[in-house]
Structure 1
Amino acid sequence: MKEEYLKKVQTVDDLITAFYACLGGESGEKRDWDFFKFLFHPQAFKIGYEKDINSNFRPQWIHPNDYVERIGYWFDNTRETAFYEREVGRVVETYANIGHAFSHCEAFHSKEDMANNKPYKQDMKSIQLAYYQDRWWIINMFWHGVTPEFPVPERYKTFQQFP
């Protein structure tokens, strides 16, 4: 299994594509959470900006393992609708063994919504990456919801890669 996983983390593009693919599925469909955790460095965090009770944006940290325990159960067992994410655009910069990607994505409640281009939300993700031990790792992933106050800049609406 590890060799199969390693094939999917050899390039930044493969790693980010694999991340989006492993979360998608129908209601109650089991995800490959071992693979999801494999994408992240053991010391990585997922950090989402959400509004608090005073409507102020604040970061919330969660370790990928904790995400699997909390959110994974919900995806696999209790979610009443499907969940799919599709990347719309990405800007990647790399230097030596470090990389960074800004990734614009959309989320959908069904394959039909995705086919009809009807997302229920959009996010911008900042993904910090490192190459070592013969593979790329997600070191940290920040995301922020797209809102009228924080629209998607034009440069993130297409795919671009810089060395």
Structure 2
Amino acid sequence: MSKNTGNAAAAVERVVTQAYAVIFGPKGAERDWDTMRAMYLPGARMTAMRPDGIEICTVERYIAGKRDFLTQNGFSESTLVNRIEIYGDMAHVWSSYSGDWIEPEGNPGRTRGINSFQLRRDEEGNWRIHSLLWQVETPDLPLPTDMDATR
């Protein structure tokens, strides 16, 4: 751990909180995509692991692919539990989440899982996301008890 772990941990947690906030919004609300782009380092990858397969994309592909879904259905996602580890200029955050939206026919959609954020400090000393990997919870793969604040 670095000697400025407390300050660094708070800064890392702010980035993770902002990552959730930037995709959060009511139906019809456009997201702040420029803020999202600024949170990620150039070349960053986003990888979703779902029961129906794995999707890997850049931030730009994520925006292009999810923009309509997020604005047409509304989406809220929030942290359940964050575990932050820092070593020098790199950080890892295990972040369990819960999210919901409204399907076009009016039915509620829900998801939970774990986000794995890898961050590093950029040349200006700011923490930015290097990559994001997430796995969706399933009946066969429930959240671990220590990552489920609802239990």
TM-score scaled to structure 2, two decimals? 0.81
Quote the residue 2:61 is aligned against: 66
Alignment partner, residue 127 of structure 1: 117
Look up the match of 1:114: none
Give the equivalent residue in structure 2 for 1:161.
none
In the alignment, which of 144, 147, 161 is matched to residue 135 of structure 2?
Answer: 144
Q: Figure out how many residues of one structure are paired with residues of the other and give that number.
A: 134
1:95 is matched with which residue: 70, 87, 91?
87
Cα distance per residue 1:46-70 (max 9 Å; x no partner) = 1001234xxxxx4221101111122
Unaligned runs of 5+ in 2: 1-9, 103-107
1:42 maps to 42
Superposition RMSD in Å: 1.9
- Give structure 1 regions of 4+ aligned residues with deviation exceeding 6 angstroms: none
| Equivalent AA in structure 2 for residue 46 of structure 1 | M
Q: Are residues 93 and 150 of structure 1, via their aligned partners in 2, closer, same or farther at CA, if it must alter by over 3 Å? A: same
Structure 1, residues 82-136: CA drift from partner, whole Å, max 9, x if none?
21001110111110011101100000227xxxxxxx9711011111110122200
| TM-score, L = length of structure 1 | 0.75
**Alpha carbons of 1:73 and 1:148: their partners in 2 closer, same or farther (altered >3 Å)?**
closer
Which shows bigger deviation, 85-94 or 119-128? 119-128
Counterpart residue identity of residue 31, structure 1: R
List runs of 5+ in structure 1 lacking aligned partners: 1-9, 53-57, 111-117, 159-163
Contact 1:90 1:157 in 2 (8 A): no
Report the Cα distance in structure 2 between the residues aligned to 1:156 and 1:69, rounded to whole angstroms: 31
